[in-house]
Amino acid sequence: MNRAAGAFTVRAPASSANLGPGFDSLGLSVPLHTTLRVTPQATTEIVPLGEELRDTPADESNYLYRAMELAARRAGRPLPPARIEIETEVPLARGLGSSAAALVAGIVAGNELLGRPLDQETVLDVAAREEGHPDNVAPALFGGIVVATLDKLGTHYVRLDPPAHLGVTVLIPDFELSTSKARAVLPKEYSRADAVHALSHAALLAAALSVGRLDLLRHAMQDYIHQVWRAPLVPGLSDILEHAHRHGALGAALSGAGPTVLCFHDQREPTERLHTYLRDVLHRSGLTGRVLDLPIDTQGTVVTPA
């Protein structure tokens, strides 16, 4: 159906990437959303709304509008003018895929405005190539848990429905950490032992999630590729990675580049003890922040007529 003549809304979820050893290849989506309301009109108008977006450009240099243009370029067609209102619940620079949510929402909105010339796999490939890796954009687009790779032939993925009873607890500190800064601390080379450790644990994590082996998550989420190097940038991270399982977590990981930390929990069990522990880590680290329980989003990016 071609919606190019009418207004529509696009809603893309936040995401948590890596989940420990799945560096740049594994992620899941959570229900904090970036929302666009697109109304075709004679001229282009960009309208960021809300406190989170107060410093973002209100013109065509806006990242989200440039994402819409990516869809137009892949389709080989000009982007029709429209009024684009932007809101987000995703905290910026916190490791919850704010840029990926904006990127995916923009590409999907551009594709919708053009009448959907691009299929979902092409939308994913456009987003992954722009981002440089698919670990956030794939779950933002498809929802659930996604294992994905990017190579010269395309972007390839497997989407998994979340295991029964698997929930997410996130600790979101009140400070920003840019992805570029978090990547700058990573070594350029790794030992064979570290490579084998990463491959084996990423494979075990993907397998455990695919068959619902929640008992294996604590072991499968161990990582030497990025978390150990980023720990000095995130006070309390090492403590959580080592001790969260003693307070009800099934496993713990730095969310993306951080500083948010993700813990898996069993939804059949109360999370008060885990929340108390995470808040105590914040306090001992001299930080403030918030702790949230979230389900894993299974819808991904949704388009609805306005």
User: Which residues are part of a known binding site for ATP?
Assistant: 91-101
Structure tokens at 1: 């159906």
What is the Cα–Cα distance from 23 to 205, expressed in whole angstroms? 12
DSSP state letters, 177-231: --HHHHHHTS-S---HHHHHHHHHHHHHHHHHHHHT-GGGHHHHT--SSSHHHHG
Burial bucket for residue 206 (CB in 10 Å: 0-12, 13-18, 19+): buried
Annotated binding site: 91-101
Do 27 and 18 meet the contact criterion of CB atoms below 8 Å apart? Answer: yes
Of 129, 89, 123, 81, which is closest to residue 106 (Cα–Cα)?
123
Report residue 245: phi and psi, to 5°.
-65, -25
DSSP state letters, 117-173: -S-HHHHHHHHHHHHSSSTTHHHHHH-SEEEEEEETTEEEEEEEPPPTTEEEEEEEE
Residue 294 CA to its chain's centroid (Å): 14
Do 248 and 254 meet the contact criterion of CB atoms below 8 Å apart? Answer: no
Do 306 and 111 meet the contact criterion of CB atoms below 8 Å apart? Answer: no
3 state DSSP class of 2: coil
Structure tokens at 121: 């796999």
End-to-end CA distance of the chain: 15
The count of other CB atoms within 10 Å of the CB of residue 219 is 13
